[in-house]
Each structure stands twice: as C-alpha cells, then as structure tokens.
Amino acid sequence: LDLVSKYLGADAGAARLDRLGGASWQRVKESVRAALREMAEELLKLYARRSVAQGHTFAGDSPWQREFEASFRFEETPDQLRAIKDVKRDMESPRPMDRLVAGDVGYGKTEVALRAAFKAVADGTQVAVLVPTTVLAQQHWSTFAERFTPFPAKVELLSRFRSPKEQKKIVEGLKKGTVDVVIGTHRLLGKDVEFKNLGLLIVDEEHRFGVAHKERVKQLRASVDVLAMTATPIPRTLYMSLSGVRDMSVIETPPVDRLPIETVVRRFNRAVIKEALERELQRGGQVFFVHNRVQSLPSMVRFVQELVPDARVIMAHGQMNERELEGAMVRFIDGQADVLVSTAIIESGLDIPASNTIIVNRADRFGLAQLYQLRGRVGRERQQAFAYLLVPADGRVDEQAQRRLRALQELTELGSGFKLAMRDLEIRGAGNLLGAQQHGHIAAVGYDLYAKLLAEAVRELGGEPAAASVEPVISVAEEGFVPEDYVPEVNQRLAFYKRLAGATDDAEVEDIRAELIDRFGALPEPARRLLDIVRIRVAARALHIEKIEAGEGRALITFAATTRLDPARLVHAIHDSRGRLKMKREFTIEASIAKGSWPAVRDSILRTLDELARS
C-alpha cells in the first residue's frame, strides 16, 4: 500500500495511465524529479544568498509596541500568536526576513502584518504594503490608518484612487522620509517610487501579480525584510516538504466565536432571492450580490431594487472610473448602502463585518478557489452568515461545476480552505507557491508523490544522504488486518492501512493504536496482530532489511545492499550469539526464534532485530 496514493492533479479524467511494469512511469517520475531538483536548487540558492546578506536588525518590542498590540479588539488565536512571534524573531535577526504567512480568509493575517509594520516604523524605517487590487488597498489603508492614529506615524495610500497631484505628493514624501507606511497596488513598484529608508515590504497574495512585478519584488527581497501573505491554502505536506527552503507560518485556528457559513445551492428564483435579501436586511445587515457580467449589471441592479424597494442598492465593477468605484465601495463599507451588486471585484480580502449574506449568480461559472474567496467575504463577525450559490433556473449545470459546488457545500466548517479536501485549491496553492510550471508536474505524477519527491530533493540538496528507502516484506504464519465489522467504512480502513504503511517509528504506531481504540473500541485480535507486524516492519526498515520470513522457530532475514550495518560487527554478533544467528549467504542470516504463540514469536523477532541494531 505504500506505493498507492490518491491521485490529485489535473482533472482525474485527463490523467494518463501507464502500464504496470512498463518504463514510461519511471521516465515521467525521473523528469519530475529532475525539475524538482532544479527548483529546489533555485530556492536554496536564494535562501543561501539571503542568509549571508546583511539586513536591518530591528530592536526588541518597545512600550509603544505593546500599547499598539493591546488595541486589537479580538483575542488572538494560538496560531496567530505563533505567526507574530515568528515574524518578530525574523525581524530581530540580522538576515533579511522572507516569511510567508498562510491563513484562511478572515483568520487574522492582517493583524500579523500590522504588528510587523508598527515594529518597523518604531525602529525608524519605512513600510510598503503591496496589494493586488485598488479596493483592497483602500480597505487596508483604512485599517492601518485607524490603528496608527494614536501614534506619530503617517500612513498613505498610493493607487488609481488618488489624483496625479496627490500621487506626486506621496511619492515625494516617500523619498524624503515623511511618509512612514504606504499601501498601494503595483503603482508602488513604479520606476518613480523611491524610498528614503525602506525596512519592510508586505506583499498580499503575491501570486496575483504579473511576472514583471514579481521580478521587481525579487530585487527588493535581497535587502529588505519581506512578509508575504496568502489565503490560498498551502497543503501541510507541501509546507513540510519545503521546511528548510522557505520560512512559513500557517494560521489554522479560527477566531473565537466564529460560526461556519451556511452554504446553499439554489436555482435562480425570484422568491429565493427576495427571501435571502429580506432576511439579511431585517437584521440590519448588508448583502453582496455578485453578477459577473458588466453588460447586464444595471438590469440586475433594477431587478434587486424591484425585489426590495426600500433598500439602498448600489453597483460596482472594474470598468467604472476610479472615483466612482471608490465612492461606491466607501459607501458600502461605511454602511450607507444595503446591497452591493457587483462583479467578482470583491473577491479578495475585503472585510466588511456588517455584510453577512452573499448571493452569487451563475455560481457554476466560477472556479472553486474563486467561490471560496467570495464566500469568505461574509461571516466575519459572530452572526450566522449565508452564502447562496445560484445556478440557471432550468438547473442545467455541467458535471465539473456540480462537483465544485458540492465540494463547497460539504466544506462549510471553519478553516475548510485548508481542507478543501485537497482539491483544486491545493494544487493551485502548490502552483502559486512554487511557480506555474509546477502545475504540469503535479498533474503528471499526482500531488502526493510530488510532495514526496520534493521533500527528497530538498533533503538531498541540503546535504542529507538520500537513502534509497527500503520497504520490508514481513512474512509470518499469522494474519493481520483491520476487520470489516470493526471499521465498517472502506475509506477509513484504507486510510488506516495507508498510515500504517507509512509509519516510521513506534510512537506513530502507538498513536494509531490509541486512535483505533478511541474511535472503534477494543482491538480485535487480527488488528492487534497487524499492529505487531507493522512494529516489526518499522524496526526492519531502520536496518535496511528487505525481507523477514519467520516460521517453525526460525527467521530468515535478508538485508538490502544499502544496509548500514558494519560487516565486522555483524560477524562479531553472530559469534557471540552462541549459534542463535547463522550466516546463510551474503546479506542473509538465519535466526532462531521462539515457537508457539504469536506474542512469543513477535517478541523474539523484535529482540533479534534490536540485537542486530545494537551490533
């Protein structure tokens, strides 16, 4: 089972099948391995360059810093505190920081950024916050400006929303050092923007910037501290594979008292929409209505206005001129409008606590990540939030879209962005983190194997010997398995088999034993024997043993050619064993073991392996 893993890659229908025993699969694997080695090499080079570079060593926390942090309205979650600690530690060290903070929508990444920014400003340096959209820049700006108000720091916004005259003034302020924090879109990366003393660059959703902009960020990265943030879930396995080449903090705990968003899929229907709008407006909240067609947006505004005549309905889309768009967004954020009918421009990062219902028209046309981000616009406060995903009135939706909508409906629990069942997002997350060309490689070998090969490449380049892994075959007279009547659900049984196949030490086997007992009651005999066999396998793997055949009071133990056992010491062990161990042929020894009951046989095999390990 250790060679079997669930295929997560391109659409499963498009996956290429290879013949068992053929050479084509090995070739695909090798080409992915080579590409990964190259990529890991790049990452390591960058990492090495930065570990010798001299950055700004920020001072420890000042009393003002503590005052600033105390003004946070919420209770920090454990993950959030850990991320803040990581960031501060990086900033206080002499090498430039390059940390990625990944966290679900609304899990408090902005607070991590705020505290880092304050620390930088308190130490006399400037901070640049780079965001993908003007609307998000506006929102971040109001959050930063509000929190920085009691302190002598100047926070400015540089984006299309500012007139050329205002922009010029801000650019001059950055050059002279009179502006401490600037928040902006890619306008910040313009040739005319120079800083007097930039100490920290915060990049939100970096993968949404173009290649040229990323290059510019890369140049800045060499010398200043960089804090990148993303809400695209980064799979935990990938995160583990990359430890050592990328500093990452993952925020997985939802804020206290947060309720999951109730998600329903409905056909387009006046009554359903009217009820959804009225329910939210009656409790004094606001509604997002997403309709992703600019041409028909005005008629959709009229349609909504007819359904709720008393509501203040406004419209927003990316083709409006800046002033209008800013005006509309600010009115909605300030609560001067009840319903915002817009295109998907609201997708990333907006935080409007009073809006707790979102209606997405033609949800079947959106990708899973997009729908997930849209849904994340609501449910920021303690109120129950609702997401209505509307499909055409005739109910005709292609199979792919049905799968996406179902996935979203099933995954309503908090933090599900990190679980999105390892679907679409995980693969996108991996691609966003490692660069688009990795998509093809993930599709070629599937996500699980990809993560495994990546971890190998990173270890190898880090100077650890890449040991050829040996998967021992244990052949004993007893049968070990998880009975159907003990764990009835076939998927759960397979998951346990898979975990047992991958167990690397006794502690892991004990954890699985405890979990089985906790979830399904006392272990039946076959399951107990299975765990014993896995313990033997774990001990054998550590010695690079390929095979153990045990029965009738003797065990044949065959070592792999890569075993680390010292031949001289092995001969010594055989000599000291008083005939219990015999050399049969090269790499194979015979050991005398107990006969009779399984516990006695098991214990004597484990004792023999322990004796060999000590030799």
- In three-state form (DSSP H/G/I as H, E/B as E, the rest C), the secondary structure along 457-522 is HHHHHCCCCCCCCCCCEEECCCCCCCCCCCCCCHHHHHHHHHHHHHCCCHHHHHHHHHHHHHHHCC
Q: Which residues does the chain have with pLDDT short of 70?
A: 1-15, 43, 46-47, 50-51, 105, 207, 210-212, 214-215, 218, 220-222, 232-246, 346-351, 369, 380-381, 410-443, 446-448, 461-469
CATH domain 473-614 topology: Aspartate Aminotransferase, domain 1 (3.90.1150)
Listed in sequence order, the residues at least 6 apart from 395 whose beta carbon sits closer than 8 Å to its beta carbon are 267
- State the Cα–Cα distance between residues 135 and 559, nearest whole angstrom: 63
Listed in sequence order, the residues at least 6 apart from 78 whose beta carbon sits closer than 8 Å to its beta carbon are 253
The per-residue pLDDT for range 194-214, each reduced to its tens digit, is: 888 989 999 987 767 766 676
The domain segmentation of the chain, as residue ranges, is 12-46+425-461, 63-251, 262-413, 473-614
Beta strands across the sheet bearing 581-585: 473-475, 545-551, 554-559, 588-592, 581-585
- The three-class DSSP label of residue 75 is coil
Nearest to 14 by CA among 369, 421, 427: 427
Q: Which two tokens stand for residue 453?
A: 């090969």
Nearest to 158 by CA among 346, 322, 3, 335: 322
Return the H-helix or E-strand segment holding 203. strand 198-204
- The three-class DSSP label of residue 600 is helix
Nearest to 227 by CA among 102, 105, 40, 350: 102
Question: DSSP characters for 306-369?
Answer: HHSTTS-EEEE-TTS-HHHHHHHHHHHHTTS-SEEEE-GGG-SS---TTEEEEEETTGGGS-HH
The answer to whether 501 touches 1, Cβ cutoff 8 Å, is yes
Listed in sequence order, the residues at least 6 apart from 550 whose beta carbon sits closer than 8 Å to its beta carbon are 474, 475, 476, 477, 556, 593, 601, 605
Integer distance in angstroms from the first to the last C-alpha of the chain? Answer: 31
Nearest to 357 by CA among 286, 416, 405: 286
Listed in sequence order, the residues at least 6 apart from 576 whose beta carbon sits closer than 8 Å to its beta carbon are none
The CATH code for residues 262-413 is 3.40.50.300
Return the H-helix or E-strand segment holding 273. helix 270-282
Q: For residue 309, give Cα distances in angstroms to 303, 305, 313.
A: 10, 5, 9
Give pTM, 2 decimals.
0.65
- State the Cα–Cα distance between residues 226 and 56, nearest whole angstrom: 12
CA 80 from centre of chain = 15
The per-residue pLDDT for range 440-492, each reduced to its tens digit, is: 666 677 666 777 777 777 777 666 655 556 788 888 888 889 999 998 887 78
Beta strands across the sheet bearing 262-267: 262-267, 386-391, 355-360, 286-290, 339-342, 313-316
- State the Cα–Cα distance between residues 231 and 432, nearest whole angstrom: 11
Q: Which two tokens stand for residue 377?
A: 């616009």
Q: Which residues does residue 128 pair with via DSSP β-bridges, in sequence order? A: 182, 201
Q: Which residues does residue 165 pair with via DSSP β-bridges, in sequence order? A: none
Kindly provide the b/e burial profile for residues 168-182, where b requires at least 16 CB atoms within 10 angstroms of the residue's own CB. Answer: eebbebbeeeebbbb
- State the Cα–Cα distance between residues 177 and 168, nearest whole angstrom: 14
> Which pLDDT does position 287 carry in this prediction?
93
- The three-class DSSP label of residue 560 is coil
- The three-class DSSP label of residue 228 is strand
Kindly provide the b/e burial profile for residues 126-136, where b requires at least 16 CB atoms within 10 angstroms of the residue's own CB. Answer: bbbbbbbbbbb
Radius of gyration from C-alpha coordinates of the chain: 29
> How many other CB atoms sit within 10 Å of the CB of residue 81?
15
CATH domain 63-251 topology: Rossmann fold (3.40.50)
Q: Which two tokens stand for residue 360?
A: 């997405």
The answer to whether 460 touches 39, Cβ cutoff 8 Å, is no
> Which pLDDT does position 54 carry in this prediction?
78
Nearest to 200 by CA among 334, 319, 55, 338: 55
| Helix residue ranges, H only, 503-590 | 506-520, 525-542, 567-576
Nearest to 557 by CA among 509, 607, 501: 607
- State the Cα–Cα distance between residues 549 and 590, nearest whole angstrom: 10
Do 63-251 and 473-614 have matching folds? no
The per-residue pLDDT for range 488-536, each reduced to its tens digit, is: 887 788 888 888 888 888 899 999 999 899 888 999 999 999 999 999 9
